[in-house]
């Protein structure tokens, strides 16, 4: 049965790509494109992994640490530091490996097999978080309960492999349809992903105020179930081998060679610097949103879940809208709009003294969050030559993950250094993200994306 499903999926995927390649003659509408089986299955993987991203990274892991470590204005800052440093450690390993993943794609063309194994490890890591959160292991490591340390280690492993899978998954977007449809497909995928967030939030009634292990276990199960259609019904393009594939680690030579060609690909490298700063703000704000709203603004857990729900709906709307904005105005202009909106959201959030102000900030942040993935992913496809696309997506992830070290480290260090000042520490840390966003915008304005350069 599995073999039959795979063959049917591959045949449909192949036919879909051929038909969409002649989209002008066939006159395919956007909705027919979205609901073709290969593209819908591709989007469902976004649905699946966004359940992990929202439930683990944004909501329940931070709330678990706030419940376990926090409790007053000073220890809440320590919990913020733990969250920040755990994210930074995960990103450190991504910095080391993500460029190698990109060169692996360019050497072999294989993506799905890597996505499968990385997804499986992510699921197992998430389930381990639930197991260690439920069973209290006696003893202490580093003056911390062993169970807490094991939950944090499991989080680092799960997040590392989750983000690793995205390097391969994002690259597959260029296998799905004609290049002109990529902005719409990217927007559709992100929007479907945020619908996954809504499903993920359904576990909250089972969690209550302290049963976070249920959230971890349910998230792992949901991720696995909704990822399955992707493995059955999408197909990657076959790569014609033009050179002998080297070892995995020999990919560093390709990376060094690409950096030596920086002048030739100036636009894409400049954008990666811009993305470094923009992602710094986004990744850190996502990781700290739950504990910030509870400890600083005064939200209850239930109010935060509702805020996150509203932000998610805003992300869905923003993903669709910016898919069309990107197609109409171009990816660079769309990224600029997102950066400006992000800056405004962070400003309102850092000075918010009333919950109503943060509702506004949360909605703006939701729109900019969904739109950033749509616009940046499309811009990389636009700027990078096809024969180096996997490598540039790997470097794109590299840029994002380096910033995902710096941002949380900066945030966590500020909350640690100023912990004695209570909530002021978190406001200062949030304000630092505005500076990062402004730098990203200024660098983006220097990107010169001519067609000739984009094609190498």
Using DSSP's 3-state secondary structure scheme, residue 450 falls into: coil
pLDDT of residue 312: 80
Kindly report the backbone phi and psi dihedral angles of residue 140, in degrees, each rounded to the nearest multiple of 5, phi listed first: -135, 145
Q: Two tokens at 148?
A: 């807490």
Q: How far is CA 419 from the centre of its chain?
A: 29
> Helices (DSSP H) in 201-300: which residue ranges?
204-207, 212-233, 251-260, 266-292
Run of H or E including 77: helix 73-108
pLDDT of residue 424: 82
pLDDT of residue 320: 80
Q: What's the pLDDT tens digit per position in 236-251?
A: 766 555 454 455 556 5
Q: What does the alpha-carbon distance between residue 130 and residue 132 come to, in Å, rounded to a whole number?
A: 6
Kindly report the backbone phi and psi dihedral angles of residue 144, in degrees, each rounded to the nearest multiple of 5, phi listed first: -120, 150
Q: What does the alpha-carbon distance between residue 60 and residue 84 come to, in Å, rounded to a whole number?
A: 14
pLDDT of residue 175: 73
Q: Give the angle subtended at the CA of 275 by the CAs of 389 and 423, to the nearest 5°.
A: 145
Q: By the 8 A CB rule, do 393 and 102 touch?
A: yes
Q: What does the alpha-carbon distance between residue 268 and residue 430 come to, in Å, rounded to a whole number?
A: 29
Q: By the 8 A CB rule, do 251 and 399 touch?
A: no
Q: What's the pLDDT tens digit per position in 307-351?
A: 888 888 887 788 788 888 888 888 889 999 999 999 999 999 888
Q: DSSP secondary structure string, 107-139?
A: HH---HHHHHHHHHHHHHHHHHHHHHHHS---S
pLDDT of residue 18: 42
How many other C-beta atoms are found inside a 10 Å radius of the C-beta of residue 358?
Answer: 24
Q: Extract the residue ranges of the chain whose pLDDT is less than 50.
A: 1-28, 242, 244-245, 451-456
Residues 6 or more apart whose CB falls under 8 angstroms from that of 276 comprise: 399, 400, 402, 403, 440
Q: By the 8 A CB rule, do 122 and 165 touch?
A: yes
Residues 6 or more apart whose CB falls under 8 angstroms from that of 129 comprise: 56, 61, 151, 154, 155, 158, 213, 216
Burial label for 18, CB within 10 Å (0-12, 13-18, 19+), is exposed
pLDDT of residue 25: 38
Q: What does the alpha-carbon distance between residue 275 and residue 270 come to, in Å, rounded to a whole number?
A: 9
Domains of the chain, each with CATH number or no CATH:
4-8+42-238+251-454 (1.20.1250.20)
Please compute, for residue 230, the number of CA atoms within 13 A of its CA located in the half-sphere on the CB side: 27
Q: How far is CA 386 from the centre of its chain?
A: 23
Q: What does the alpha-carbon distance between residue 203 and residue 136 come to, in Å, rounded to a whole number?
A: 22
């Amino acid at each position: 049965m599995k073999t039959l499903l795979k063959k049917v999926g591959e045949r449909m995927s192949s036919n879909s790509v051929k038909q969409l390649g002649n989209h002008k003659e066939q006159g395919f509408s956007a909705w027919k494109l979205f609901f073709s089986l290969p593209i819908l299955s591709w989007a469902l993987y976004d649905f699946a992994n966004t359940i992990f991203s929202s439930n683990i990274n944004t909501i329940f892991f931070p709330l678990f640490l706030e419940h376990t470590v926090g409790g007053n204005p000073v220890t809440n800052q320590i919990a913020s530091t733990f969250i920040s440093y755990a994210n930074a450690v995960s990103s450190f390993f991504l910095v080391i490996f993500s460029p190698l993943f990109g060169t692996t794609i360019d050497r072999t063309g294989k993506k799905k097999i890597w996505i499968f194994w990385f997804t499986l490890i992510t699921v197992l890591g998430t389930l381990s978080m639930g197991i260690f959160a439920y069973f209290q292991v006696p003893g202490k490591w580093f003056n911390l309960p062993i169970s807490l340390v094991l939950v944090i280690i499991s989080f680092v492993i799960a997040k590392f492999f989750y983000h690793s899978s995205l390097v391969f998954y994002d690259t597959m977007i260029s296998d799905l349809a004609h290049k002109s449809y990529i902005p719409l497909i990217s927007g559709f995928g992100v929007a479907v992903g945020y619908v996954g967030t809504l499903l993920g939030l359904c576990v909250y009634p089972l969690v209550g105020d302290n049963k976070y292990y249920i959230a971890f276990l349910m998230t792992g199960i949901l991720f696995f179930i909704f990822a399955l259609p992707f493995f059955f019904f999408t197909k990657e393009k076959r790569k014609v081998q033009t050179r002998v594939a080297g070892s995995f680690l020999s990919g560093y030579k390709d990376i060094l060679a690409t950096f030596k060609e920086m002048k030739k690909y100036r636009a894409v490298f400049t954008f990666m610097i811009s993305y470094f700063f923009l992602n710094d703000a986004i990744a850190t704000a996502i990781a700290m949103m739950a504990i910030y709203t509870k400890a600083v603004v005064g939200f209850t857990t239930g109010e935060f879940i509702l805020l996150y729900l509203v932000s998610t709906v805003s992300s869905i709307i923003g993903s669709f809208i910016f898919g069309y904005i990107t197609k109409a105005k171009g990816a660079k202009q769309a990224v600029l709009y997102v950066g400006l909106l992000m800056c405004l959201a962070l400003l309102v959030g850092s000075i918010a003294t009333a919950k109503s102000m943060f509702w506004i900030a949360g909605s703006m942040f939701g729109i900019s969050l969904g739109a950033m993935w749509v616009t940046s992913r499309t811009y990389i496809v636009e700027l990078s030559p096809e024969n180096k696309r996997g490598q540039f997506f790997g470097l794109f992830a590299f840029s994002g993950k380096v910033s995902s070290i710096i941002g949380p480290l900066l945030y966590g260090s500020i909350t640690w250094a100023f912990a004695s000042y209570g909530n002021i520490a978190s406001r200062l840390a949030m304000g630092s993200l505005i500076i990062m966003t402004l730098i990203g915008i200024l660098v983006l304005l220097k990107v010169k994306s001519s067609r000739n350069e984009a094609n190498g």
